[in-house]
């Protein structure tokens, strides 16, 4: 991965901190922001020559997060503002 690619990856990762903080404050836009930055990271990974398997492993954390938010009688998703 070239230096310019690491800079391209650092911006979405810095934004992830903001979106995770929003999720901890129960804001639904935090999840949508994470979805957008993860999509950008997949595109950056594919453009930089990373294999498809490695690029698609990035959104795995979102699948786990969404699944966790859907658990229980009173889902976490319904409690987000």
pLDDT at position 31, please?
Answer: 93
Q: Where in the chain are the domains? A: 3-79
Quickly tell me which residue has 């938010």 as its tokens: 69
> Can you list the positions of beta strands (E) in 1-81?
none
Other C-beta atoms closer than 10 Å to the C-beta of 41 total 20
- Count of CA atoms in the C-beta half-sphere (13 A) of 5: 12
Q: From the centroid of its chain, how far is CA 30?
A: 9
Whether 24 and 78 have beta carbons less than 8 Å apart is answered as no
pTM for this model (two decimals): 0.81
pLDDT at position 13, please?
Answer: 82
pLDDT at position 80, please?
Answer: 83
Residues of the chain below pLDDT 70: 1-9
pLDDT at position 17, please?
Answer: 93
What six digits make up the tokens of 44? 């950056």
């Amino acid at each position: 991965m070239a230096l310019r690619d690491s800079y391209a990856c650092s911006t979405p990762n810095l934004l992830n901190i903001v979106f995770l903080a929003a999720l901890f404050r129960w804001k639904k836009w935090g999840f949508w922001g994470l979805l957008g930055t993860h999509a950008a990271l997949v595109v950056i990974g594919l453009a930089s020559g990373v294999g498809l398997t490695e690029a698609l492993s990035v959104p795995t954390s979102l699948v786990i997060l969404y699944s966790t938010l859907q658990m229980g009688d009173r889902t976490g998703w319904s409690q987000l503002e």
